Amino acid sequence: MPMYKVKPVSPADIKIDLPTCMYKLPNIHAQGMNCGEHALQNGEVDPALKALEERQDEVLRRLYELKATVDGLAKTVTTPDADLDASTLSRGPAESVFRATADLDSLLGKDLGALRDIVINANPAHPPLSLLVLHALLCQRYQVLSSVHVHSSVSAVPPPLLSCLGPRHIDSYARQRFQLGFTLIWKDVSKLQMKFNTQSMYPIEGEANVARFLFRLLSAEPQDPVLATQMDCWIDTAVFQLAEGGSKERAVTLRSLNSALGRSPWLLGQEFSLADIVCACCVLRAGQTTSAPANVQRWLQSCQNLGHFDCVYPLLQ
């Protein structure tokens, strides 16, 4: 007999989210169900999961190994390895600083028949003394066509600045006879700027950086990495602490200069280098050289004796 059929109040297949924090009992109504779920709670491991865990362990292990290797490397870099004795590092081949002439083509790019002109824009209120010294050195090694211009953004420039590159070369009317051009433009710029090959090079800013570029043209960079680093270090000290720092920082730098110069005639040892040029120029520009420590004064005197600094002294007045 057909019974009263009541419409189902709720649909038969509602998805119920069973809570996972409770202990699970096997379903007593259904039979042959997979007992895997609750079985895991007893500590037995599903083989697929096991494999995954093993893979994870493997990866983690490899990561730890890599980390250890990198740490080890870092230690060897930051601190001298116990096995490596720095004192036995041989100095690079004893090249006397400015004797080799560089291959300009390899340094500056192929010569397309045009004069390779280095253009430096400097503010007449802050003449770049170290660049003038480097110019004098360049003139000794190469045939350099030097010229000084005044840009229209500056109304007047004191005469010593106009003749700071020395007298005009006799052959200056024939530009092709020169290997290198050195054009100094007195301009209203906030930071010293050097332009060389505008198509392929960004302008270089800052006196120290331009000085490094010009020094490389003399191929007198120390080959030894330790010395090269020390040189860079001294240059940065000179620029940031001597030139731009307060009087305290200047005093500290002068003291460290003094102690370094007590050990050797020049900052890097036996050879005159860019570090000496830049530091000496910064010290001279800061003024009060008579009150500087003894070693520093002796060193400044040696610089002057070399003759490269002759162009600088007229500008210090």
Nearest distance from C-beta of residue 132 to another protein, angstroms:
19
How many angstroms separate the CA atoms of 258 and 261, rounded? 5
Rule CB under 8 A: choose which of 173, 202, 246, 248 binds another protein.
Answer: 173
106-125 residues near another protein, rule: CB under 8 A:
112-115, 117, 119, 121
Q: Which phi and psi (to 5°) does residue 88 adopt?
A: -95, 5
20-49 residues near another protein, rule: CB under 8 A:
none
* Contact window for another protein (CB under 8 A) among 24-32, 127-135, 192-200, 291-299: 192-200
How many angstroms separate the CA atoms of 26 and 242, rounded? 83
Q: Name the token pair of 31.
A: 């039979």
* Contact window for another protein (CB under 8 A) among 80-88, 91-99, 175-183, 278-286: 175-183
Closest by Cα among 135, 280, 149, 120 to 207? 120
Nearest to another protein of 123, 258 (CB atom): 123
* Contact window for another protein (CB under 8 A) among 5-13, 97-105, 132-140, 197-205: 197-205
Rule CB under 8 A: choose which of 38, 67, 99, 175 binds another protein.
Answer: 175
108: Cβ–Cβ under 8 A, 6 or more apart, which residues?
116, 196, 197, 217
How many angstroms separate the CA atoms of 151 and 74, rounded? 50
**Does residue 195 belong to the site contacting another protein (CB under 8 A)?**
yes
Rule CB under 8 A: choose which of 163, 197, 256, 264 binds another protein.
Answer: 197
**Does residue 150 belong to the site contacting another protein (CB under 8 A)?**
yes
Strands across the sheet containing 204-205: 180-186, 116-122, 193-195, 204-205
- Residue 38 Cα distances to 21, 41, 42, 43, 218, angstroms: 12, 5, 8, 10, 81
- Backbone region of residue 109 per phi and psi (left: phi > 0; alpha: psi in -120 to 50; beta: other values): left
Nearest distance from C-beta of residue 135 to another protein, angstroms:
18
Q: Name the token pair of 206.
A: 């800052």
**Does residue 135 belong to the site contacting another protein (CB under 8 A)?**
no
Question: Residues in the site for another protein, rule: CB under 8 A?
Answer: 112-115, 117, 119, 121, 147, 149-153, 173, 175-176, 183, 185, 187, 195, 197-199
